[in-house]
Structure 1
């Protein structure tokens, strides 16, 4: 593809398929990262490692990753003093 052709194309707006379960999982992962971001550095690192493990699992088993993320978010919201 030549450079002018590349410029004439529309910018990428996401995948051309829509999977509501994967979209929901991605939204929940973004929310989890947003919740973890303001925490102290050591706590944030520990929790982000959990989120990265869930993200990696989502590549192989999105349903299981979704369940683990739900558990993570429930535990996170339930026990703020444990952070």
Structure 2
């Protein structure tokens, strides 16, 4: 008998949505000019790493990050 994986299912809609939002955030940050980019990249990498351990908290942090990103892009 094969052991069943103990982690999340590969086709989990919540994790798929989180992955899509992370890709969107990475794309938006990559296109930023100037001094904002390094700071936002570090924040986004921390959220991406958090998603591996605590997806629910990562979703909350990513939502806050996206609101901040919207504000930074509008200020530029």
TM-score by length of 2: 0.77
| CA radius of gyration, larger in | 1
Moved over 3 A (4+): none
Q: Which runs of 5+ in 1 are unaligned?
A: 1-15
The separation in 2 between residues aligned to 1:50 and 1:75, in whole angstroms, is 11
2:49 to 31, 48, 56: 56
The separation in 1 between residues aligned to 2:16 and 2:67, in whole angstroms, is 19
TM-score by length of 1: 0.71
For these two proteins, the number of residue pairs brought into alignment is 67
* C-alpha RMSD of the superposition: 1.7
Deviations 1:15-53 (A, max 9, x none): x83011111111001101111112124321111100100
